[in-house]
Amino acid sequence: MIRHPLLLLAIAGTVAACDSGVETRKSAVPDAGSNAVTAAATAPATAAGPAQTVQTQADDYLQSAASVVEVAPLTDPGADAKLFGLAGGDPALNGDHAYLAFFVDPSEGWRVFPLGDFERWSLGEQGPGRFVLETTQGRMGDNGEMVTGEVKRFIVTYDARVAGSPPPSSITVTPAT
């Protein structure tokens, strides 16, 4: 049972909206002329009011949220779902745990399915009740050395939803070429 559903929803919303390129290891640099906000952000910042001191918060929910490294919403209109990754494990060998989550309702939160532990993952092609997970994985070789960068694809399927229907109780993950 979720003790703080509104806090959890606020965290999920914040995490879904935020993605620091440092943690996701993405180096996409936006075109400076692409929008006015980007151009304004390149000017040096100067203080425009008094500083506020902020203390840390010791909260298990925030500890979990801080592990989120990437969020990718699905375009399937009825799914109300997203992929997300949590950092953990040995970062030298995988450590980006991918999950698929379907929103149930505010009282229950999300139904979460583990997809695997990868070096990196990205969302590939999508369709109703289906998407492709593109991954890079590492493993230990026969001689005990690390083998990294193995590209693998998986087709993830679930019962397509219509608005108001419950999320799936299971999914399938199939290796793909």
Q: pLDDT, tens digit, for every residue of 110-145?
A: 999 999 989 899 999 999 899 999 999 888 888 888
Q: What percent of the chain has pLDDT over 90?
A: 40
CA distance 131 to 156: 5
Query: 15: part of which helix (H) or strand (E)?
Result: helix 5-17
Instruction: Give me the residues paired with residue 105 across strands.
Output: 109
pLDDT, average across residues 38-58: 84
CA distance 83 to 142: 32
pLDDT, average across residues 79-90: 84
Using a cut of 0.85, tell me whether the model's pTM lies above it: no
**Which amino acid, 170?**
S
Using pLDDT thresholds of 50, 70 and 90, give the confidence band for residue 27: very low
Sort 177 into a burial class: Cβ within 10 Å, 0-12 / 13-18 / 19+.
exposed
The values of phi and psi at residue 46, to 5°, are -130, 150
